[in-house]
Amino acid sequence: MRIKRERMVREQIEARGISDAGVLEAMRTVKRHLFVEEALYARAYGDSPVHIGHGQTISQPYIVALMSELLEARKGMRALEIGTGSGYQAAVLAAMGLTVFSVERVRELFFATRALLQRLSIRNVHMKLADGTLGMPEAAPFDRIIVTAGGPSVPPPLLEQLDDPGMLVMPVGERQRMPQLVRGKQQLVRVVKDKGRIYKENKATVTFVDLVGEHGW
């Protein structure tokens, strides 16, 4: 699997322009196949998302790397992740030296992923079972926020919990309508908070599962 990870980084990630050394090292280090079902190990390092059940996916390796790089994160920062899923993105951020606070709304995924992270001895990820669009106010503020599901707009509670200066990355746009048939178009948006002002920029066209919650779909 180590050879597959190296090939994934070289051919799917570096070849598309990702150059952040911390991101590349984390993608080489974290064993992606452990975050999918054993029957899907062969697909874990492919250039596509992988279903993890409950209508959720583990994102394409390039997208994980892109979102991680867009955060411009540094070791020691505190990051809020909305949508823990199988835990892969959280594990990548943890490998980059961040303390990760992650919110998951699907009960089955929450307990399965928490157990997995414990087995892997990943101790700098702190999970909560809740509506992710409300964030984790008890642990705020956060230097960085990453949202791994697409919503109509950036939830106001997340902007409130973002430190100043701070940075947030999230897919924003149309929702999925019968995902097997029609996928809504979304923009991967980076939000920068600086001296009380909010700046937004579109970084890529993407497709993510729906962000469900009070400030989502």
Residues carrying an active site annotation: 59
Secondary structure (DSSP) of the chain: -HHHHHHIIIIIIGGGT---HHHHHHHHHS-GGGGS-GGGGGGTTSSS-EEEETTEEEPPHHHHHHHHHHTT--TT-EEEEE--TTSHHHHHHHHTT-EEEEEE--HHHHHHHHHHHHHTT--SEEEEES-GGG--GGG--EEEEEE-SBBSS--HHHHHHEEEEEEEEEEEEPPPBTTTTB---EEEEEEEEETTEEEEEEEEEE---B--STT--
Cα end-to-end distance, the chain, whole Å: 37
